[in-house]
Structure 1
Amino acid sequence: MRYHPKLMDELNLLLHFNLDTNQQGIKVHHDAEPGMIDAAASLHGKGLITQVDGGYLTELGRETAEHAQAMLGLLKE
């Protein structure tokens, strides 16, 4: 399996969450890039975020976001 554009959008959206607190969520507005709107809906469908347009990370979502942020830290220059 490869990283395809939809998966990359999901990973990029997970990078927007502040992992220093559970009290801060995100909102993907209706005029956002279509890929981000679709990514939010997909992450919600997978049980990773609480709302179809963002919200907060679920427990599984937080773990996934931690991995996504760690992976970015390892791979960036």
Structure 2
Amino acid sequence: MPFKPDLVDELNVLIKFKDSTQEGIKVHKTASPSLIEATQRLFDKGMITQKDGGYLTPRGLVTVEHAHTLHGLLSSTPE
């Protein structure tokens, strides 16, 4: 099953976070509607602390670690 565009948008928000609960992000009202909606969905899923960003929850931290790993694997060139 392919990734749906909504999931890709959520992954793009997640990779903006560092692998830490100490650094948050803020998605401003001027951001693209798809980014704002993805951030709201991540909040609804319990991965971030605020509907416009905030900090990672424990669930969000695990998800971000996996998102960074997936991004790194797909971005690398084979040896």
TM tier, shorter chain? over 0.9
Alignment of 1:39 with 2:38, yes or no, is yes
Runs of 4+ aligned residues of structure 1 deviating over 2 Å after TM superposition are none
How many aligned residue pairs are there?
Answer: 76
Gaps of 5+ in 1: none
Alpha-carbon distance in 2 for matches of 1:38, 1:51:
13
Q: TM-score, normalised by structure 2?
A: 0.91
Equivalent residue, structure 1, for 2:28: 29
Equivalent residue, structure 1, for 2:53: 54
The 3-state SS of whatever aligns with 2:54 is strand
Shift of 1:17: 0.3
Alignment of 1:11 with 2:50, yes or no, is no
Identical residues among aligned pairs (%): 51
How big is each residue's C-alpha offset from its partner over 1:30-72, in whole Å with a ceiling of 9 and x where there is no partner? 1101111001000000000000000000000000010010001
Could you say what the CA RMSD is over the residues aligned between the two structures, in angstroms? 0.9
Alignment of 1:2 with 2:5, yes or no, is no
Contact 2:21/2:57 (CA < 8 Å) preserved in 1? no
Q: TM-score, normalised by structure 1?
A: 0.93
Alpha-carbon distance in 2 for matches of 1:23, 1:67:
18
The 3-state SS of whatever aligns with 1:56 is strand
Shift of 1:5: 1.0
